Structure 1
Amino acid sequence: MKTDESLFSQRKFVWVCATFCCLLWGSAYPAIKNGYEIFQISTDNLPDKIIFAGYRFVIAGGFLLLFAFWQGKSIARLSRHQYLQLIVLGITQTALQYTFFYIGLAFTTGVKGAIMNATGTFFSVLLAHFIYKNDRLSINKIVGCVLGFIGVMVVNFNSQSMDFGFSWLGDGFVVLAAFILSASSLYGKRISQTIDPTIMTGWQLALGGVVLTLGGYWSGGTLVFHGWQSIANMGYLALLSSVAFALWSLLLKYNRVGMVAPFNFLVPVSGAVLSAIFLQESIAEWRYAMALALVCLGIWWVNVVRNEKRKDLRKDNVVL
């Protein structure tokens, strides 16, 4: 445990791991788009999309629980209270968050959806300010978050698809999904202090995936595998989810939220770039380079340490 704490609280290692997580999540964009084509899911078929997401997270959770079991960890020796915590986390962080996100995307444009979803970083930094004494808002965090958000807007800028209208069912649901993810991530940070992060993430993904799958079938959806391509696509999506979520949980366990959360701005940028590469779209555009520069500058700005003593990050000072 001390080895994990020492490793996952080293600043450069945190940066590398957080960037890797965001690259994995970014790669999900083209993988999901290809998945819809492979599984023959139409754009407006929400129940099938929810089942698709449910299968992905059930398998991802299974991967993590099998990995923890292989390591000799007891994946089921938990108290009743801990099981209840995991159920709440699974329902909120996976099931509710993705349900609101998919519904929101169905009633707004992809450009506005990506920008609205980026508000989750602001929620994380703001909530941490009120919950943890050692994670207060600062000028650096505010400036860094604003730079990152501008970067997300730049990479998604499209004069033809941008408008200033606000749809509660579309934009509002995407923002609500971002808030749910931020709040549940902080809840997961607390749970990870008493439950191994790998086991916690495994159960959270699996339980949330089951809820999504049942909800999708209850809504009249179906999912049919079409050969090895569908298996490979689902396997990759499940693997990236299991690795990224588990690693992110470890980073949150041993570090301040305000240090890790701004890396989330990399997700839409990397998603746009990777989508352009793998979907044979042009990437020779100024907006990609500018967006990446702004996001990286924002992350650096948030993590600048000015005349601060390094604090013991093993335990957070909780206000509430």
Structure 2
Amino acid sequence: MDIDVTEAEARDGGFRPGRTLPAGVEFVRQLRRRRTHVVALILLLLPLAIALAFQASSPGPANGNNSGNFSGPLLATLATKGAINFALFTEFASASFLLVVLVALFCGDTVASEASWSSLRYLLAIPVPRARLLRQKLIVALSLSLGANVLLPAWALVIGGMFFGWAPAQSPLGGSFTTGEGLTRLLIVVGYASLQSLLVAALAFLFGVLTDAPLGAVGGATMVVVLSNILDSITALDPYRKFLPTHFQYAWLDAVGPSVQWDNMMRGSGLVLVYSAVFFAVAWWHFQRKDIVS
């Protein structure tokens, strides 16, 4: 049974499907949900907890081997050297799991939660066209995901300044940036990381229309990302692992060297856009044919 009423039938009665489910209304609904409040609280408390942890611990010696691999120990060593370095470390520490879960939560829960509450069939019976419902839900979910990706490093920058000052950022490969250069590098990092989160959003959104269980959608997207990261760590898979969706997840580290290296970030951007387009297309195709009643 198909609940949808055709657009022509709706217009005959003076009803305009294009005016249903305004993005502003959906945005307010999502902002009022407890899960959004919990996410905001986590994003605000995490940089503070990291800063207090650094304050409570004594600084350790830097790793003497700085060639090539500076992603982990050296970013941690430089985290207390100023606000920008602290924001970069917070981004590095959060990108592999926390931000993945939060983006999956916003994008995987948005449709699946309506199905689990049995309100999805009533939304479509208003009628809200299926394509419009997906579009409005996705716009709001991506907006909240982008907000999470921007809020964390921005707040970490403020907390880092309060705890460790506003000294010029230092590169893990040596040298330092002016304040303007450091902020530009941070913007590149946040922009690229936000684009990479589009892959998680597309995966979670696809699982969200495939299942009526919000946790299944969130967990499924997170599991795929974790599995991709595990496979990417197996060097024996070369050269095929460069086609894994998360292979270039940390290509933004090329932006914190003495000069910005764009090659891997361009490859990573192209890869994530292709994967995301496919996942979103499959989600749209499936939802148009989904039996909402059953």
TM-score, normalised via structure 1 length: 0.30
Q: Which protein has the larger Cα radius of gyration, Structure 1 or Structure 2?
A: 2
Structure with more contact order per residue of length (Cα contacts < 8 Å, sep ≥ 6): 1
TM-score, normalised via structure 2 length: 0.32
